[in-house]
Chains A and B, each alone.
Chain A
Amino acid sequence: MRVLAAIVLLMATACATPKPPAEPLAKSRLAEAEGRAAAFARSGDYASAARFYAEALRMATALENADAVAANAINLSVVQQWLGHNDEARRALAAVLDDPRTPFSERRKLQAELRRAILELSVNNVGAAAIWAAQAEQRCASLSCEYASTILNVRAQVELESARAAEAERLAGAAAEHAGPNAAERANALRTMGRARHAQGHSAAAIEPLQRALALDRELGDPRKILADLSELSRAADAAGDARAALDYRERSLAVSRAMSDGKSGSEMEALLRR
């Protein structure tokens, strides 16, 4: 009887679930800061998002959590760029790019380099953008990584800004091929392809990829990209001699611009319509 009781007790002990260890306070604070930053970014409060990403970066640094340091630094750079604070965005990326001691993963390094390339290109530092994009491409292992299409798109834009439209078109085509399920990058590639064709004087041929980009961007629901597509379409249609289509695209882009409360772009478009 005693043996039976001992066996039952042993089985009950074996079946018992151990109490899950409590998460350390600093880790839970880091997760909370990251969560709040993401929520602010989603809601469009970029200043608050930047504040919480900076806080998360500080906590991740204190915890020597390399992956969290890189992730928060990259996110901080994105939000700072959205705020127009390009120097702060560059400084945030320095936490990854200028720190040889911390063992960041190859993926995080690639993300940081790509972000730096995008940032440099946005302020027209074409040379620096080309260098950072090349470094990211080298790390992308023969363009087999998930960021292949993004890298190719950045390179295509670099070529376009450097007045090498034919090479830009080729790279944009490759970016569209590598985009896979990433509809945003496929749309970016098609837009760049349309711009490259327009720059080469093939304005009629530019319409088709731009229309495909517009359709994708409307599905994605990003008004900035829709505005860019419509603006490029109006230019291409105008250059192709289709004044009516150009006017239609201009009016549509003006409506989008007004809806976005983008006064500057709206006034530019109004000036174009008055011509």
Chain B
Amino acid sequence: MTKLPPGRFARLALKVNAFLLIAFLLAAAFIGLVAYKQGWFLRQSPIHFITPNALGLNKGMPVKLHGFTVGSVSDMRLTDGGVDVTLLVIGDYMKRIPQGSHARHAREAGVIGASVIDIIPGKGSLPLAEGALINFEPSRGISEIVDDFRRQAVPAFNEIKAAMGNLSQAGQDITQILTGLRREVDQLPATHRAVRKLVEDAATATADLSFQTTATLDAVERVASTLDRTVPPLSEKLVASMESIDAAAGQLRKTGEEAQITLKNARPLLDQSESAAREANDVLSAAKRVWPLSDSFKDAGDGMLPIDSFEANGKGYAR
């Protein structure tokens, strides 16, 4: 047997043991962390319900209260009335589940989300006791959902078809409304220019008025001094009138500025309206291609306007 050289492997056993101990501690800490995250250290209270059909229910399925996970399905056993399903709810949350609560099978995002057990809180004032039996509302099948949707959608589709028919008969195409809207938007710059011109004219008028006011005041002062203050009340009234006119002109300028701001604010709104109308048009166009509605929107002919011999009679019967 080869003898190990002294020094290099001194206290090897100690080092190996220390390494193993550290590895064990790390593994234990990891397991503890996982167990803590999984709620193994939390006290959990069982409640259960009996369902005639446990299709779609699985062990480990989350139990939610107001959309918040409060436990999971822990056990499922066949009984006389169907399947006895046991839910383990974290003890702290039991006090938030009042008596009279019931469970229902639901999906997180409508029809296609993950299955969960949703606890619907009851009206009772006391919390549920551990091991309590609650009612269960099974989920609706896809055929029931489709039937329900069809029941609700068919009248809506009929109304849409009728509305479209009326719209078409009245000749009030969305395009016409859009055209009207576009025409109004096109006229906005002209209106804007007109308002700006009005404001500029008002400003000029105000300046002229101020200048004239000053001149008039000078004249009045000269007259007043010449008359040696014989008519001071008249002068005071004149000054007051001029101030009123000046204030009115100022108000006019302010109103003009406000109108300009309003027009600026209205522009994006109209742009958005046009965009929304265009999107609505796109949605309608898409809807026209969808099967249940497509039959109602089939174009007549090959897109040709009518070739009508009546148009030859041009006198007095113009469109």
Which chain A residues have a beta carbon within 8 Å of chain B's beta carbons?
34, 36, 38-46, 48, 71, 74-75, 78-79, 81-82, 84, 111, 114-115, 117-119, 121-124, 129, 147, 150, 153-154, 157, 184-185, 188, 222, 224-225, 227-228, 264-265, 268
**20 additional contacts (CB under 8 A) given A75-B304, A150-B307:** A38-B303, A40-B175, A40-B179, A43-B171, A45-B175, A84-B318, A115-B307, A118-B312, A121-B314, A122-B311, A122-B312, A123-B314, A129-B312, A147-B307, A150-B309, A154-B309, A154-B312, A184-B310, A224-B317, A228-B313
Q: Which 5 A-B pairs have the closest CB atoms?
A: A122-B314, A153-B309, A43-B176, A121-B312, A43-B173
Which chain B residues have a beta carbon within 8 Å of chain A's beta carbons?
168, 171-173, 175-176, 179, 302-314, 316-319
- CB neighbours (8 Å) of A124 from chain B are 314
Contact A48 B179 (CB under 8 A): yes
- CB neighbours (8 Å) of B317 from chain A are 224-225, 227-228
Distance in angstroms from A239 CB to nearest chain B CB is 19
**Set B175, B306, B316: member contacting A39, Cβ < 8 A:** B175
Contact B309 A43 (CB under 8 A): no
Contact B309 A224 (CB under 8 A): no
- Smallest CB gap from A121: residue in B: B312
Q: How far is the CA of A39 from the CA of B303 in the complex (A)?
A: 11
Contact B307 A39 (CB under 8 A): no
Can you sample 15 A-B contacts with CB below 8 Å? A38-B303, A39-B175, A41-B305, A42-B171, A44-B176, A45-B175, A74-B305, A84-B318, A118-B312, A122-B313, A147-B307, A150-B308, A150-B309, A185-B308, A265-B316
- CB neighbours (8 Å) of B308 from chain A are 118, 150, 184-185, 188
Distance in angstroms from B185 CB to nearest chain A CB is 15
- CB neighbours (8 Å) of A123 from chain B are 314
- CB neighbours (8 Å) of A36 from chain B are 175
Contact A188 B310 (CB under 8 A): yes
**Set B176, B179, B319: member contacting A224, Cβ < 8 A:** B319
- CB neighbours (8 Å) of B310 from chain A are 184, 188, 222, 224-225, 228
| Consensus secondary structure, chain B interface | loop
Contact B309 A71 (CB under 8 A): no
Q: How far is the CA of A184 from the CA of B301 in the complex (A)?
A: 15
- Smallest CB gap from B179: residue in A: A45
- CB neighbours (8 Å) of B171 from chain A are 42-44
Distance in angstroms from B292 CB to nearest chain A CB is 22
- Smallest CB gap from A77: residue in B: B305
Q: How far is the CA of A103 from the CA of B317 in the complex (A)?
A: 36
**Set B304, B312, B316: member contacting A74, Cβ < 8 A:** B304
- Smallest CB gap from B175: residue in A: A39
Interface centre among A43, A117, A147 (most CB of B within 10 A): A43
Q: How far is the CA of A121 from the CA of B313 in the complex (A)?
A: 7
- CB neighbours (8 Å) of B311 from chain A are 78, 81, 118-119, 122
Q: How far is the CA of A156 from the CA of B199 in the complex (A)?
A: 65
Distance in angstroms from A15 CB to nearest chain B CB is 22
Q: How far is the CA of A38 from the CA of B306 in the complex (A)?
A: 12
